[in-house]
Amino acid sequence: MKSSSPKIQRRHISGVFLLNKPLGISSNAALQRVRWLYRAQKAGHTGALDPLASGLLPICLGEATKFSHYLLDSVKRYQTTVFLGRSTTTGDTEGEALLEQAVPELTEEKILQALQQFTGGIMQVPPMYSALKKQGRPLYELARQGIEIEREARPVTIEAIQLLSFTANSITLDVTCSKGTYIRVLGEDIAKALGTQGHLTYLHRIQTGHFALIPSYTIEYLESLSEAEREALLLPAYAPVDHLPKVQAPEGRAEYFSRGMESNIEHEAAPEVLVFDGGKCLGLAEITERKRLVPKRVLNL
């Protein structure tokens, strides 16, 4: 008779862990590993990284998932290397070689001139190898069947591009960009602006919103710690919105707020504020023009 392994006792634990995702695994696989290590009842990540990309993947546990969309919508920063002279079907090293073209002689001045075309608001055509859906089916499923459909260009914002280094056939960049930017497409388009083809050989995220990568925060590091030590690494559940204004709940009204009830408050109107009772965060609220404190996201901590 086969013995079944004991079930993990899930815990009501909340907070944010700033994972340094390794190469070779999906964001969901990394998420599930972190969730298992914390024995969390609920977990979610804040913007997927491809298996061939590494770096910062904030993991929201428990009540922190109520704020995860703020990080999904936030500005991201990457370091990336574009190999020049060859494009691939996927825009990175996972795909098959597509087109080859000689690489013109590169100079710093020529590269910087090309990069200027891609700063600010630009239009970008999403790649076929993406999770965008057409009639309910992800585009990458169609791409794997050799089907290509027309995609509409979408506006994205490249806040900054810095040239870190270059060789005769590669450029390494530091890119700060808006939600929805495909770095693979950006790499291909920059290569074309330089008069050749290109694909990504390296992609590493170093910033998401106001969170910066902590290189040592790996899955292996988490595995080496005790449960108490892991908990000490967690940021508060409200960390994704810690930049918002903070107010104290009106005296005697904390419990009412936690039940989702409005209160009068002597504070100017604000679309979003974090509400505290002493040092405890109760959640997110709106303050109306009539000075009413209206709960929007209540934390159950």
The pLDDT assigned to 1 comes to 44
Residues 159 and 189 in one domain: yes
Residues 6+ apart with CB under 8 A from 15: 61, 62, 64, 231, 234, 235, 236, 237, 239
Together in a domain, 197 and 100: yes
pLDDT of res. 145 = 61
Is residue 159 located within the same domain as residue 98?
A: yes
Single-letter residue type at 34: V
103 and 185, same domain (yes or no): yes
114 shares its domain with 173: yes
pLDDT band, residue 139 (cuts 50/70/90): low
What's the chain's average pLDDT? 91
Say whether both 128 and 185 belong to one domain.
yes
Predicted TM-score of the model (pTM): 0.89
Q: Which residue has the higher pLDDT, 126 or 239?
A: 239
- Note the pLDDT tens digit of each residue in 173-221: 999 999 989 999 999 999 999 999 999 999 999 999 999 999 999 999 9
Grade residue 136 by pLDDT with cuts at 50, 70 and 90: low
Catalytic pick among 50, 73, 189, 242? 50
In the residue annotation, 50 being an active-site residue is answered as yes
In a domain, 149, yes or no: yes
Mean pLDDT confidence for 116-136 = 79
Could you give the 3-state DSSP secondary structure of residue 152?
coil
Cβ contact 193:161 at 8 Å: no
Closest CA to 161 of 141, 189, 140, 196: 189
3-state secondary structure of 83: strand
**Residue 6 forms part of a structural domain:** no
Same-domain check for residues 119 and 83: yes
Same domain, 215 and 68: yes
Could you tell me the CATH number of the domain that includes residue 265?
A: 2.30.130.10
Q: Which two tokens stand for residue 21?
A: 């995702």
Residue ranges making up the domain that contains 169: 76-208
Considering its fold, how many domains does the chain have in total? 3
Q: What type of residue sits at position 80?
A: T
**pLDDT, position 268:** 94
Query: Within this chain, do residues 48 and 172 fall inside the same structural domain, yes or no?
Result: no
The domain that holds 227 is classified in CATH as 3.30.2350.10
Task: Kindly report, residue by residue over 280-293, the tens digit of the pLDDT.
Answer: 999 999 999 999 99
Whether residue 90 is predicted with pLDDT greater than 90 in this model: the reply is: no
Q: Do 225 and 183 fall within a single domain?
A: no
- The mean pLDDT value for 132-149 works out to 63
Distance CA(213)–CA(191), nearest Å, equals 28
Q: What was the pLDDT predicted at 137?
A: 64
Q: What is the mean pLDDT of residues 50-73?
A: 93
**Same domain, yes or no, for 220 and 289?**
no
Residue at a domain's end among 163, 192, 208: 208
